[in-house]
Amino acid sequence: MSQGNTQPSKVQTTGHVWDGDLQEYNNPLPNWWLWGFYLTIFFSVAYWLAYPAWPVGKGFTTGMATITYKNDKGVEKTTHWNTRALLMKDLQDAREFQKKYFDRVAAMPYDQIAKDPEMLNFVASAGKVLFADNCAACHMSGGQGKRGFAPSLVDDDWIYGGTYDKIQETITNGRHGIMPVKGGANLNDVEIDNLANYVLSLSGESMDAAKVKAGDELFHGKAACFSCHGADGKGNKDIGAANLTDKIWLWADVPGAGSADKQVEAVKAVIAAGLNKGVMPAWSGRLKADQIKLLTTYVHDVLGGGSKK
Ligand code: HEC
Ligand code: HEC
């Protein structure tokens, strides 16, 4: 019989025939597959030569590829390629990237940083880390502060002033607000009660009119509260004497008092005991000048409390 008749189509055979009609097809691998296969062989050999690959005794073949990086002391090192060196190189790149931006922060005036979205982006991310490490323990992570402990940095109310210069001065040298016991005058309980009523009336609370009048006279007279808090009660940023008219209370827990009587008690307690616990540490010895400048921008422009006042 002729082979042609038993062939289903034009498939090649190897030419061998067994048992009369048993044949072997010859299906060569497609070229694209073969070349792909050769390529993987070539690639693996190249890879073994370039990179650490085979265990040898207690070590391994290191390969010919090298990697050069500067360690954190700035010393340049070249070694065979390995993931640890790769990490060191990434860290070096990150350090150089940060330094570039810190140098720009140091060189730029504050108002220019605030107008530059790229710089503000950097301030927001690097400032967040610095703030979390150094400031959040007292001012809380979002800068919202905590009554009786540390002021909010996100409102536009400033004990010492919210300009760049004042904020920088605060962070560099620290602050320590002191109010003498009973304002320094020898006040009795009735007088303190009258003063507390007057102080609360400054914040718009409706208080006993007679007590407010008596407190007003004391405030501007014998008790001399005005000498620090100003005749209008709006405070004095040079010595950190609080603004008593802004409804913002750092030490007297007026918002948490619950009742009108308790509000008076809260203010009385502060006047009677004085204040000496508001200590903002100085950072000049702990942070570098460019870090303080970055934090100043962070407080002013990112936390959003920054004011022109
Ligand atoms: C140990 C707690 C503490 C830490 C830490 C701290 N602060 Fe303060 N900070 C205070 C207190 C308390 C005051 C208020 C001082 C006063 O009333 O006399 C203050 C005041 C301030 C003010 C002035 C606010 C105003 O209204 O004028 C700024 C700005 C400030 N801190 C920023 C920072 C920054 C930035 C850091 C981190 C580098 C920081 N603080 C770390 C406790 C702290
Ligand atoms: C020598 C200056 C000085 C005198 C005098 C003085 N104060 Fe003060 N007072 C301060 C300072 C400074 C603070 C803020 C302290 C701080 O932030 O750590 C303050 C804070 C206060 C507060 C707390 C405000 C808050 O946000 O909780 C009240 C209330 C107050 N003073 C009322 C008075 C009254 C009333 C008198 C008069 C009897 C008086 N002060 C006299 C310096 C003074």
Residue from 52, 281, 60 nearest 171 by CA: 281
Ligand 2 mean position to 187 CA, how many Å?
Answer: 14
Q: Which residues of the chain carry a pLDDT beneath 70?
A: 1-9, 305-309
Task: Give this prediction's pTM.
Answer: 0.81
d(Cα 153, Cα 127) in Å, to the nearest integer? 14
Distance between start and end Cα atoms, the chain:
109
DSSP 284: T
Q: Under a CB-based contact definition with an 8 Å cutoff, are residues 203 and 246 in contact?
A: yes
Q: Please count the CA atoms within 13 angstroms of the CA of 237 that sit on its side-chain side.
A: 13
Question: Domain 117-302 class?
Answer: mainly alpha
User: Roughly what angle, to the nearest 10 degrees, separates helices 189-202 and 209-220?
Assistant: 100
CB of 298 closer than 6 A to ligand 1? no
Please list, in sequence order, all residues whose beta carbon lies within 8 angstroms of the beta carbon of residue 213, skipping any fewer than 6 positions away: none
Write out the two tokens for 24. 């072997």
pLDDT on residue 24:
86
| CA 286 centroid distance within chain | 17
Give the position, in ligand 1's atom list, of the atom nearest the Cα of 295.
35
- 3-class state of residue 146 by DSSP: strand
Residue from 75, 77, 85 nearest 51 by CA: 85
Nearest residue by C-alpha to atom 15 in ligand 1: 278
CB of 101 closer than 6 A to ligand 1? no
Nearest residue by C-alpha to atom 38 in ligand 2: 183
Please list, in sequence order, all residues whose beta carbon lies within 8 angstroms of the beta carbon of residue 104, skipping any fewer than 6 positions away: 119
pLDDT on residue 17:
87
Closest ligand to C-alpha of residue 271 is: 2
Nearest residue by C-alpha to atom 5 in ligand 1: 135
pLDDT tens digits, 282-306: 999 999 999 999 999 999 999 976 6
CB of 134 closer than 6 A to ligand 1? yes
pLDDT on residue 187:
96
Give the start-end residues of each E strand in 100-243: 175-179
Q: What are phi and psi of 193, to 5 degrees?
A: -60, -45
pLDDT on residue 11:
75
d(Cα 243, Cα 233) in Å, to the nearest integer? 6
pLDDT tens digits, 265-279: 999 999 999 999 999
Q: Under a CB-based contact definition with an 8 Å cutoff, are residues 104 and 97 in contact?
A: no
Ligand 1 mean position to 151 CA, how many Å?
Answer: 7
pLDDT tens digits, 86-121: 999 999 999 899 999 999 999 999 999 999 999 999
What are the sequence ranges of the domains in the chain? Answer: 1-64, 66-107, 117-302
d(Cα 65, Cα 79) in Å, to the nearest integer? 9
d(Cα 230, Cα 186) in Å, to the nearest integer? 20
pLDDT on residue 1:
44
Closest ligand to C-alpha of residue 270 is: 2
CA distances from 261 to 38, 205, 206 (A): 90, 12, 12
